[in-house]
Amino acid sequence: MERGGEQVPYFLVSKEGLPLDGSTPTLLYGYGGFEISLTPSYSAGIGAAWLEKGHAYVQANIRGGGEYGPRWHQAALKEKRSKAYEDFEAVARDLISRGVTSPAKLGCQGGSNGGLLTGNMLARPTAGSTLFGAIVCQVPLLDMRRFHKLLAGASWMGEYGDPDTDDWSFLQRYSPYHNLDEATAYPPILVTTSTRDDRVHPGHARKLVSKLLDLGKGPSTFYYENIEGGHGGAANNKQRAFMSTLAYSFLEQTLAGKNRGE
């Protein structure tokens, strides 16, 4: 698809014979930062937990990543960060306009910098419930006013900017914690983190969830904090399986309307 004259690729995976009537629960995944490339790969977990149920999975190659080299990464640095979020929204709209899915059936997922991405999909007025029926936000950055004072955050100022300078004028525009408001109807969100995350402080996730609760968004806000696991969110395969099951169960219930036992 195209966003502002820029071609933004994405990969769509589903069972053969996908109906183009907007009825398919679809999960959109992205990262868009630090020149990291998302390329197609085999995932037994996604296959068993999502695709085998007849759902669709989409991987977006938004700006900020490294899929097209340094230019692609630099296009979404610092004050240009919104380009990554605009690209992700554009992919979502393309999926909807093509009939692959609908806002009520479309979810998004991301972790770490991808958690900042999905946090923005919650907070941005051009996304939220207008594009998504559910959001999974994992080990996320969410408070861009203080990210550089927590754990490894200072090392990311080259990517985001320095909030103690005039950079705050653009950083605040993509700081999810600072852009929530009581009047907005937000889609259901699952926020997960680890008490022992040594890269992104769990305070980011805790603060966002606390603010959502203060704004009266409790019924649509879900939170899980694993006491182990570091930045990966899980310390062993059993915990990883649990965290994955937690996310897919949340998405199944919100996007496919299925509860346990159905």
Catalytic residue (choose from 129, 220, 231, 249): 231
Give the whole-angstrom CA distance, residue 63 versus residue 120: 15
Give the whole-angstrom CA distance, residue 167 versus residue 183: 28
Catalytic-residue membership of 175: no
Catalytic residue (choose from 55, 73, 102, 112): 112
For residues 213 and 178, the answer to whether their CB atoms sit within 8 Å is: no
Catalytic-residue membership of 210: no
DSSP the chain: -EETTEE--EEEE--SS---SS-S-EEEE----TT--------HHHHHHTGGGT-EEEEE--BTBSTT-HHHHHTTSGGGTHHHHHHHHHHHHHHHHTTS--GGGEEEEEETHHHHHHHHHHH-TTSHHHH-SEEEEES----TTTGGGSGGGGGGHHHH--TTTTTHHHHGGG-GGGG--TTS-PPPEEEEEETT-SSS-THHHHHHHHHHHHTT-GGGEEEEEESS-GGGT-SSHHHHHHHHHHHHHHHHHHHS---TT-
Q: How many angstroms separate the first and last alpha carbons of the chain?
A: 36
Residues catalogued as catalytic:
112, 231
